[in-house]
Each structure stands twice: as C-alpha cells, then as structure tokens.
C-alpha cells in the first residue's frame, strides 16, 4: 500500500505558501524553481488542491498561487483527501458471502463483516491523527523552516 | 491509496482456517470451492502468508493448508504486513532539501521533517489498532460465522 507522492508535494506546497503569505500570490515559475521542478509537473500537483478549495490560483502577470483559506483551517487530512480521494484504503468485497462459505447465513449478513469493521476502525485512527493537525500546526513547529523559506525566497531575483 | 484485495483474502482465509482447525489441513481444492475461486488464484493469495510463517501447507493427497501458529498469536497487522510488505504508505523524499527551498539550512535538516513525522505518527496509530487484534479476536467476535462455517464445511461432499 503506497500513498502517491502528490501528498508530500501538496503538504510542502501548503506549508511554503503559508510561510510566504505576505508575498502571495507566488507565481508558478517561482514555485517551480523553489522546488526545482518542471512547471507543468508542479501544476498537476497543485490542481487537486485548487479543486478542493485549499489553494487558489490568480491569473495574470502578477498572478500565482496562494492558500485559499487560513492555514489553521486546512487540516492535513484535507490535503490527503484532496490528493488521494475520499475512499478508504481497505474496501470490503463481502468475501464472506461467496461460494459454499456463504450459504444459509440467515440474518448474519445484516451486520457488517467483523474484518471490514476492524479495518475501518484502524483507518479512523489514522484519519483522526491527520484531521487533528493543520497546516498552521506544521508551520508553527518548524520556525527554522519559516526563517529559511523567507530568507531564500527574498533572494530569488527572477 | 488502496490496499490490495490480498489483505481481505488473507484475513478471511486465516479466520476460516482457524474455525476449521479440527479439519486441518484443508485441501486447496476445498478452500477454492469454499470461496468460489480458481485454485491457482487462491494459491497466489496464500503464498505470501506461508512465506511469513502465518500459514503452512502440507503436501500430499491428504495435504492442504492450515494456520502455522495459534490464532491468538497471529495479529491482523501480521497478515497486512505479509501481504502488503513492511514499508510505510507515506515515504518522505526530503522535498524540503530541493532547489532554492533547501539552501543554507545549517543543522535544520539533521532533524526529521515535521511532515514526515506527522505522517509516521498517523500510520503508527493505524498499525497499533491492527497489531492489537488477532485472528482469534476476529474468530471470537463472530460466533454465527463459526457455526455457519463448520456446518457448511461439513456438507461439502467432494
């Protein structure tokens, strides 16, 4: 089971745009140079976040990307869901009902399968951790990162 | 992010083999009919569990599959790891170090990235849930499933 690398890009872009809030919007050219990425590749990473109302892009010569709402109102779970979709990682296909196994179950299958329930419970524990932390939390816990980002961004000349 | 269907098969096979312990080993022919699956497909699902020491297969006419250790010593996490591998779903590629972003970081990058740490913490919460539950727990919480399994298996005639 692997999470796409879009989640890591999404979170780093949100934190960076949070730190550069007073410089917003940040042009796609600068943001791509910031991470040493082709612009088109980065755009594809940002689009799901725009569709989810996490980032906003302003058109025009002075346009660019910024957070669409305050960083304390964007949870890490919001970013993960925007990139990976809302579906659970484990999906029950009702194996218990198949073949000889499932015959004459009576009302037993009215209740959810115990395996499915446990997997869901574990995913909820994971979601709770990510829903309880915001982009603002990530920004605050890395003051050195904030200083480095503002310093290095100020040095960009084009 | 999607977990392979092998996890669902692995868990159902372990619980079923736990319930049929007094009939063990269960032939691949019967187990395949049980779940209405082609034998070769099911074998591929069982092999990672055998490699991980969760299931054991006995060769010969009376051979078949059984649990390799007591069901209270097989956690749900064991099965997930056997099928999906031990790697974390989120893998940090150190985006913070890239391009203009990462210049002059000094000792800052000696510490793990906060984004990576948070994603790891969330995965640990997920793993804790799965490591705290065993095949025996799943068996015990579904007494109707145990009865149905023993009844239907007893009716198999070939």
- Chain segment B47-56, per-residue pLDDT in tens: 999 999 999 9
Phi and psi, residue A155, nearest 5°: -85, -10
Is A1 in contact with B5 (Cβ distance < 8 A)?
no
**How far apart, in whole angstroms, are the C-alpha atoms of residue A60 and residue A27?**
10
The two three-digit tokens of residue B39, written as one number: 């034998």
Query: Which residues, 6 or more positions from B98, have their beta carbon under 8 angstroms from its beta carbon?
Result: A35, A36, A37
Model confidence at B157: pLDDT above 80: no
Closest Cβ–Cβ partner in B15, B100, B127 for A34: B100
Q: Across the strands, what pairs with B75?
A: B134
Enter the ipTM.
0.90
Query: Cβ–Cβ of B98/A125 closer than 8 Å?
Result: no
What φ, ψ does residue B16 adopt, rounded to 5°? Answer: -65, -45
In this prediction, residue B158 carries a pLDDT of 67
Q: What percent of the residues of chain A are helix, what percent strand, and what percent coil, each to the nearest 5?
A: 60, 5, 30
* A36, A104, A126 member nearest B99 (Cβ): A36
Query: Is the Cβ pair A5, B99 closer than 8 Å?
Result: no
Contact B16/A100 with Cβ under 8 angstroms?
Answer: no
Angle at B85 between CA A119 and CA B68, to 5 degrees: 80
The answer to whether the Cβ–Cβ distance between B100 and A152 falls below 8 Å is: yes
Cβ distance of A2 and B87 shorter than 8 Å? yes
For residue B86, what is the nearest residue in chain A, using CA coordinates? A1
Among the partner residues B4, B114, B122, nearest to A138 by beta-carbon distance: B114
Q: Which residue of B has its CA nearest to A82?
A: B1
Helices B28-35, B39-51: crossing angle, 10 deg rounding: 110
pLDDT of residue A108: 86
Q: What is the pTM of this model?
A: 0.90
Weakest-pLDDT range from A63-72, B14-23, B99-108: B99-108
Q: What is the pLDDT along chain A (158 residues), one digit of tens a residue?
A: 778 889 999 999 999 999 999 999 999 999 999 999 999 999 999 999 999 999 999 998 889 999 999 999 999 999 999 999 888 888 899 999 888 888 888 888 989 999 999 999 999 999 999 999 999 999 999 999 999 999 999 888 76
Contacts of B100 in chain A (CB under 8 A): 33-34, 36, 152-153, 155-156
Q: What is the pLDDT of residue B11?
A: 97
Q: With CB atoms and an 8 Å threshold, state whether A100 touches B155.
A: yes
Residue A39 C-alpha, separation from nearest chain B C-alpha, in angstroms: 13
Residue A142 to residue B114, Cβ atoms within 8 A: yes
- CA-nearest of B69, B53, B64 to B23 is B64
Domain layout of chain B by residue ranges: 5-155
Under the banding of pLDDT at 50, 70 and 90, the label for residue B3 is: confident
From CA B56, how far away is CA B54, in angstroms rounded?
7
- pLDDT over 80 at B58, yes or no: yes
Q: Are B99 and A34 spatial neighbours (Cβ–Cβ below 8 Å)?
A: yes
Nearest CA among B131, B97, B129, B90 for reference residue B111: B97
Long-range residue pairs from B109-114, CB within 8 A, at least 24 positions apart, any chain: B114/A138, B114/A141, B114/A142, B114/A145
Residues forming beta bridges with residue A58, ordered by sequence position: A64
Do B47 and B7 touch, CB atoms closer than 8 A? no
CATH 2.30.42.10: does it fit domain B5-155?
no
Coil, helix or strand for A57? strand
Least confident of B7-11, B76-80, B150-154: B150-154
For B9-100, list the strands marked E by DSSP. 55-58, 64-67
Q: Across all residues in chain B, what is the average pLDDT? A: 92
Residues 6+ apart with CB under 8 A from B21: B66, B67
Q: Which run of H or of E encompasses B78? A: helix B76-84
Question: What whole-number distance in Å separates Cα of residue B55 and Cα of residue B72?
Answer: 14
CA dist B103 and A98 (Å) reads 58
pLDDT tens-digit map of B69-90: 999 999 999 999 999 988 888 8
Cross-chain residue pair B89–A89, CB shorter than 8 Å: yes
On chain B, the residues whose CB falls within 8 A of the CB of A89 are 1-3, 89
Which of B145, B147, B149, B151 is the best mutation test for A, with the most CBs of A within 10 A? B145
Is the pLDDT confidence value at B148 over 80? yes
């Amino acid at each position: 089971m692997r999470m796409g690398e879009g989640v890591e890009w999404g979170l780093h872009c949100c934190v960076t745009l949070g730190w550069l809030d007073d410089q917003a919007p940040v042009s796609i050219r600068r943001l791509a140079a910031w991470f040493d990425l082709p612009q088109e590749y980065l755009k594809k990473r940002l689009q799901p976040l725009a569709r989810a109302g996490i980032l906003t892009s302003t058109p025009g010569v002075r346009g660019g990307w910024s957070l669409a709402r305050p960083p304390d109102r964007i949870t890490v779970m919001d970013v993960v869901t925007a990139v990976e979709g809302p579906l659970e990682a484990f999906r029950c296909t009702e194996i218990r009902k198949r073949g000889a196994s499932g015959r004459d179950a009576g009302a037993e299958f009215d209740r959810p399968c115990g395996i499915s329930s446990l997997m869901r419970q574990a995913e909820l524990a994971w979601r709770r951790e990510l829903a309880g932390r915001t982009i603002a939390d990530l920004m605050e816990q890395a003051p050195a990162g904030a200083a480095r980002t503002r310093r290095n961004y100020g040095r960009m000349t084009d």
